[in-house]
């Protein structure tokens, strides 16, 4: 039961990281960084047209996969709690 709660916590943290990742990229570029490898030099940066939709698709897919696993684990925890009740 404790292991399931740790897994739920890790999934929730992963969901927050997925939601914050685009903001972290923008923050990194605004501070003069490379946007975590997206653009080495801001002046001569050429980003392919498909890079944005590809990143969006990866983030959305991973978000919904994690939500699906979270729902499965929560349903499993609920079934375990119902079996352990005295009534």
Residues in the chain: 87
Show me where the domains of the chain are located: 2-83
**What is the pTM (predicted TM-score) of this model?**
0.74
Q: Write the pLDDT tens digit of every residue in 28-70.
A: 888 877 777 777 776 777 777 887 888 889 999 999 999 999 9
At residue 49, the pLDDT reads 82
Torsion-angle region of 37 (φ positive above 0: left; ψ -120 to 50: alpha; else: beta): left
Over residues 22-34, the pLDDT tens digits come to 888 888 888 877 7
Tokens of 12: 């929730």
> 84 falls in which pLDDT band (50, 70, 90)?
low
What distance in Å separates the CA atoms of residue 21 and residue 40, rounded to the nearest whole number?
Answer: 18
| DSSP per residue, 34-87 | -TTTT-S-STT----TTHHHHHHHHHHHHHHHHHHHHHHHHHHHHHHHHHT---
């Amino acid at each position: 039961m404790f292991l399931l709660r740790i897994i739920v916590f890790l999934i929730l943290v992963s969901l927050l990281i997925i939601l914050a990742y685009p903001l972290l990229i923008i923050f990194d570029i605004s501070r003069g960084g490379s946007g975590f490898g997206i653009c080495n030099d801001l002046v001569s940066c050429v980003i392919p047209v498909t890079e944005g939709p590809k990143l969006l698709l990866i983030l959305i897919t991973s978000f919904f996969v994690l939500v699906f696993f979270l729902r499965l684990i929560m349903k499993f925890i609920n079934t375990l709690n119902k079996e352990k009740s005295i009534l």
